[in-house]
Amino acid sequence: MKRVLLSTFGTVAGLIALLTFKSQGHPLTTTGALPSAGLPGSGSSSTPTTAPPAGGDTSGGSSSAPPPAASSSSAKAASRTVAGDAVETRYGVVQVQVTVSGNRIDNVSFLQLTAFDGRSQEINGAAAPILLQETLSAQSAHIDNVSGASYTTDGYLQSLQSALDKAGVR
């Protein structure tokens, strides 16, 4: 569990770092999909300690909480929430909010996400979907979910998606 949490923090830090360096252009376009921009493996590997305060603490940050480095060895630091800058990406506006205790990120959430505008969404070359076009049995295809012509509540029971839901996460 701890390792999983650590990976989450790394993910968060990577995301914040990507969103913070907006002066470098479109930071999220390298991986295409916006929510995955900070996933480990997408190229970001910044360290968690440097990322959280950098986001745009517009109050100046001097009075809200002790600096992370100074508080790391003291008793439980007060939790504080910092909103990052809203960043314009090719997929729309993104703004994250981070809750920090000392130098630890407790939570990250989106304050703003892409606006409802399908026309602006693009699949860039690097992130083009792959189509495996062959007739397959669902068992051999290692699929996560199924797209098909709409099913009704009754039809769902016979659907492949229903079988996947029963099987749960593997």
Question: Nearest approach, Cβ of 34 to another protein (angstroms)?
Answer: 6
- Whichever of 63 and 153 has its CB closer to another protein, that residue is 153
H or E, element range at 100: strand 92-101
Contacts of 101 (CB under 8 A, 6+ apart): 76, 77, 78, 79, 80
Kindly state the smallest distance separating residue 77's Cβ from another protein, in Å. 20
Nearest-approach distance from CB 106 to another protein, in angstroms: 10
Instruction: Please report how close the Cβ of residue 66 comes to another protein at its closest, in angstroms.
Output: 25
Using CA atoms, how far apart are residues 17 and 19, in angstroms rounded to an integer? 5
Nearer to another protein, 66 or 122 (CB): 122
Cα 107 from Cα 100, distance rounded (Å): 7
Nearer to another protein, 35 or 56 (CB): 35
3-class DSSP state of 115: coil
Tokens 């929430």, located at residue: 81
Report CA torsion sign: 64, 70, 71, 75.
Answer: negative
Work out the burial of residue 161: count CB atoms within 10 Å of its CB; fewer than 13 is exposed, 13-18 middle, 19 or more buried: middle
CA distances in angstroms from 138 to 32, 134, 167, listed in the order given: 27, 12, 13
Q: How far is the CB of 108 from another protein (least distance, A)?
A: 6
Residue number, 4 or 75, with CB nearest to another protein: 4
Looking at the Cβ atoms of 75 and 128, the one nearer to another protein is 128
